[in-house]
Amino acid sequence: MSGQKHGPVYGRVALIGLGLIASSMFWAMKRAGLAGEVTGYARSAETRATARRIGLCDRVCDSAQEAVQDADLVVLCVPVGAMGPVMEDIAPLLKPGATVSDVGSVKRHVIDAVQPHIPEGVHFVPAHPLAGTEHSGPESGFSELFDNRWSLLVPVEGTDPDATARLRALWEGMGANVDEMDADHHDLVLAVTSHTPHLIAYTMVGVADDLRRVTDSEVIKYSAAGFRDFTRIAASDPTMWRDVFLTNKDATLEILGRFTEELFALQRAIRTGDGEHLHDYFTRTRAIRRGIIEAGQDTDAPDFGRGQKK
Amino acid sequence: MSGQKHGPVYGRVALIGLGLIASSMFWAMKRAGLAGEVTGYARSAETRATARRIGLCDRVCDSAQEAVQDADLVVLCVPVGAMGPVMEDIAPLLKPGATVSDVGSVKRHVIDAVQPHIPEGVHFVPAHPLAGTEHSGPESGFSELFDNRWSLLVPVEGTDPDATARLRALWEGMGANVDEMDADHHDLVLAVTSHTPHLIAYTMVGVADDLRRVTDSEVIKYSAAGFRDFTRIAASDPTMWRDVFLTNKDATLEILGRFTEELFALQRAIRTGDGEHLHDYFTRTRAIRRGIIEAGQDTDAPDFGRGQKK
């Protein structure tokens, strides 16, 4: 899929919020010629100035209202907690027949916050691309971000199938594989595969930072031994992640509860010297890794984490 | 340092245990011409056959005793729990003036288990290279594993400074940076930067595997969103890690206690909707990541985890 030239899927696309995902969408749409014109808006004047400087979006607008005018597709690329207010703001200016989508990491909350403001005759197709880096801001995007990654569409009841199909074509054109999923199931799956792991990584990095007897420079110097992957995860955008945890509270707390339960069982095995329990557990977790490699979501190169990343 | 040709540092080196670290040491010593002859021994006949087939070691021996004869350096590359018995086994055959070292991830336990068996006139210089991958076994090694990574030397009281200096030259010749550290401090630092992160990663992967409402295939398909880094950590060798937790019990349990405390504080912030607490915490952890990049322990490439690893 990647690198191929498509015809335009939408005449005009408006990106509201110009961070990592929106800027990657812009470059990915340009790469494949998926949109006639892309407008963009960011709340911060500094972000808008940066976007203009680096040619991010065909036209950077000074208001969200201006950006969405005549847009066939409006994509909300703001933190999950800001989706509702932004939607309320732009609702009166949406073109009849337009589609509103988003890229939020939580879907039930976004649907509850956005759906009530969707005008009659406008389609709403929530989405979530499972792709990211630890970087944020308008300069962090790149056209390959979505290549061979999943983008989940979470259509709400009554969504026009044609609107969903068109959004699917856009994501496929940007290199992604597309699946559809129910909102509540999405939030649970993401709590397991993303939200709870992030919280845990943040916590572990915080513990290291707190510990007086191990200096920061030691933590940093010797991070290659496992900790480095945690710091990478824990470097993601704080506002985005705050909103994720506040809005996917129930699923995150449930998975955290299970996590604590299992951790306590392993902790007890360490305390009592139960090597068999530890060995069995560590053997079982290995299989999951093999599944991921077979599913093509990572490489099996023997020097992981050390080679140059292109 | 890497790739440079050195003179031999030792005439004969014996590697006891032929897993990831030992096999990487062999290729790194060969690359720089650091040893006259390298002998090797592994307990499993299958591992010895593989080593012979792929040319790992100049000579693969059928007993540890045979491998250490006339060796100037003997490196114990077995799981931490096996170090004591192996040392007891080879002690009578060690050449006077020889040096014994190891590559275990825990140092106090190894010193307590190995030191009593060191014969008069033989030097003991414990070491720990902070390098690894999720792979194990004789075929997983490669000569670049230690390049620009830290190797910690943990000399015991009364260790001959010349023996320590010579081992340092070997590690530097294999591409590593070398630091010296006290055993107890080493075990605490590693509990923070490596042992506890590994336990946490194992636990999170186990939770995902247990969860009936999220299928394995979903966990695997959607792992790019953070979970993938955990599975990578959690795929490491089960026996090695069992021994690490059993032998670095106190430091691991202490760090786990702190981790749980911090995790509960974040969990409470999620439950009560305290977004400020979450945002402050996540902002603080970002700085550590920057420190690691500045310290040269990782790259800042914007598509981390997605590019080809060489």
The model's confidence at residue A225, banded by pLDDT at 50, 70 and 90, is: low
- A72 CA to chain B: closest CA distance, Å? 29
Q: What is the pLDDT of residues B21-77, one digit of tens each?
A: 999 999 999 999 999 999 999 999 999 999 999 999 999 999 999 999 999 999 999
Q: Is the pLDDT of residue B299 over 70?
A: no
How is residue B204 written in tokens?
Answer: 């999170």
Q: Is the pLDDT of residue A3 over 70?
A: no
- A179 CA to chain B: closest CA distance, Å? 10
Computed over every residue of chain B, the mean pLDDT equals: 89
- B78 CA to chain A: closest CA distance, Å? 16
Contact B142 A225 (CB under 8 A): no
Residue of B nearest to A205 (CA): B285
Q: Is the pLDDT of residue A156 over 70?
A: yes
Mean pLDDT, to the nearest integer, of B249-256? 95
The model's confidence at residue A300, banded by pLDDT at 50, 70 and 90, is: low
Of B218, B39, B156, give the one whose Cα is nearest residue A182. B218
Contact B232 A310 (CB under 8 A): no
Instruction: Count CA atoms within 13 Å of residue B164 on its CB side.
Output: 15
Mean pLDDT, to the nearest integer, of A288-305? 58
Residue of B nearest to A293 (CA): B220
How is residue A86 written in tokens?
Answer: 């932004």
Q: B103 at the A interface (CB within 8 A)?
A: no
The pLDDT of residue A303 is: 31
Three-state secondary structure call for residue B100: strand
Nearest Cβ partner for A292 among B203, B228, B278: B228
The pLDDT of residue B3 is: 46
Contact A199 B298 (CB under 8 A): no
The pLDDT of residue B292 is: 67
Q: Is the pLDDT of residue A307 over 80?
A: no
Mean pLDDT, to the nearest integer, of B171-175? 98
H helices of chain B, in order, are 20-32, 45-54, 64-68, 83-90, 108-114, 161-173, 183-190, 196-210, 216-221, 227-233, 238-247, 249-272, 275-294
How is residue B72 written in tokens?
Answer: 């100037």
Q: In degrees to the nearest 10, what's the CA dihedral of A138, A139, A143, A145?
A: -80
Nearest Cβ partner for A223 among B144, B259, B297: B297
Beta strands in chain A (DSSP E): 10-16, 35-41, 59-60, 73-76, 99-102, 123-124, 127-129, 150-153, 177-180
Q: What is the pLDDT of residues B107-126, one digit of tens each?
A: 999 999 999 999 999 999 99
Mean pLDDT, to the nearest integer, of B170-193? 95
Q: What whole-number distance in Å separates Cα of residue A106 and Cα of residue A190?
A: 8
Nearest Cβ partner for A292 among B209, B223, B307: B223
Three-state secondary structure call for residue A206: helix
- A237 CA to chain B: closest CA distance, Å? 8
- A58 CA to chain B: closest CA distance, Å? 23
Interface of B with A in 140-179 (CB under 8 A): 140, 142, 144-145, 147, 149-150, 152, 179
Which chain A residues touch B134 with a CB distance below 8 Å?
A: 289, 304
Q: What is the pLDDT of residues A181-206, one digit of tens each?
A: 999 999 999 999 899 999 998 898 88
Which chain B residues touch A152 with a CB distance below 8 Å?
A: 222
For chain B, where do the domains classified as CATH 3.40.50.720 start and end? 10-181
Which DSSP letter does residue B119 get? Answer: P
The answer to whether residues B23 and B141 touch, using CB atoms and an 8 Å cutoff, is yes
- For the ranges B117-121, B141-145, B293-297, B300-304, the lowest mean pLDDT is seen at B300-304
Nearest Cβ partner for A203 among B130, B234, B266: B266
Complex ipTM value: 0.85
If one compares B231 and B50, the residue with the highest pLDDT of the two is B50
List C-alpha distances in Å: B125 to B26, B67, B98, B148, B258.
19, 19, 11, 21, 32
Residue of A nearest to B232 (CA): A289
Computed over every residue of chain A, the mean pLDDT equals: 89
Q: What whole-number distance in Å separates Cα of residue A287 and Cα of residue B90?
A: 36
- For the ranges A27-41, A47-61, A121-135, B206-220, the lowest mean pLDDT is seen at B206-220
Q: What whole-number distance in Å separates Cα of residue B160 and Cα of residue B181?
A: 16
Three-state secondary structure call for residue A69: coil
Angle between helices A196-210 and A249-272 (to 10 degrees): 60
Out of 1.10.3660.10, 3.40.190.10, 1.10.10.10, 1.10.287.110, the CATH code matching A185-294 is 1.10.3660.10
Contact B200 A246 (CB under 8 A): no
Residue of A nearest to B105 (CA): A225
Q: A28 at the B interface (CB within 8 A)?
A: no
Question: Above pLDDT 90, what percent of chain B?
Answer: 73
The pLDDT of residue A134 is: 81
The pLDDT of residue B206 is: 87
Which chain A residues touch B222 with a CB distance below 8 Å?
A: 130, 150, 152, 189-190, 193-194
Q: Cβ contacts of residue A26 below 8 Å, gap of 6+?
A: A15, A38, A40, A56, A57, A141
Mean pLDDT, to the nearest integer, of B202-228? 78
Q: Is the pLDDT of residue A1 over 50?
A: no
Which chain B residues touch A131 with a CB distance below 8 Å?
A: 224-225
The pLDDT of residue B305 is: 32
Mean pLDDT, to the nearest integer, of A84-95? 97
Nearest Cβ partner for B204 among A150, A197, A305: A197
Question: Above pLDDT 70, what percent of chain B?
Answer: 91
If one compares A136 and B5, the residue with the highest pLDDT of the two is A136
Which chain B residues touch A105 with a CB distance below 8 Å?
A: 225
Q: Is the pLDDT of residue B168 over 50?
A: yes
CB neighbour burial string for B25-38, b if at least 16 within 10 angstroms, e if fewer: bbbbbbbbebbebb
Residue of A nearest to B186 (CA): A214
Q: Is the pLDDT of residue B302 over 50?
A: no
Out of 3.40.50.740, 3.10.180.10, 3.40.50.720, 3.30.565.10, the CATH code matching A10-181 is 3.40.50.720
Sheet holding A177-180, edge to edge: A127-129, A150-153, A177-180
The pLDDT of residue B151 is: 96
Which chain B residues touch A216 with a CB distance below 8 Å?
A: 288, 291
For chain A, where do the domains classified as CATH 1.10.3660.10 start and end? 185-294
Residue of B nearest to A253 (CA): B267
Q: What whole-number distance in Å separates Cα of residue A66 and Cα of residue B206?
A: 49
The model's confidence at residue B162, banded by pLDDT at 50, 70 and 90, is: very high
- For the ranges A21-30, B167-176, B205-214, B274-283, the lowest mean pLDDT is seen at B205-214
Pairing between strand A127-129 and A150-153?
A: antiparallel
> From the candidates B252, B289, B293, B299, which should be mutated to test the interface with A, based on the most A CB atoms within 10 A?
B289
Q: B225 at the A interface (CB within 8 A)?
A: yes
Contact A224 B196 (CB under 8 A): no
Q: Is the pLDDT of residue B14 over 90?
A: yes
The pLDDT of residue B310 is: 28
Q: What whole-number distance in Å separates Cα of residue A136 and Cα of residue A133?
A: 8
Q: What is the pLDDT of residues A8-60, one digit of tens each?
A: 999 999 999 999 999 999 999 999 999 999 999 999 999 999 999 999 999 99
Contact B221 A256 (CB under 8 A): no
Q: What is the pLDDT of residues A231-271, one digit of tens each?
A: 877 888 899 999 999 999 999 999 999 999 999 999 999 99
Q: What whole-number distance in Å separates Cα of residue A25 and Cα of residue A128?
A: 12
Report the DSSP beta bridge partners of residue A230. none
If one compares B2 and B278, the residue with the highest pLDDT of the two is B278
Three-state secondary structure call for residue B60: strand
Highest mean predicted confidence (pLDDT) among A194-208, A278-292, B242-256: B242-256
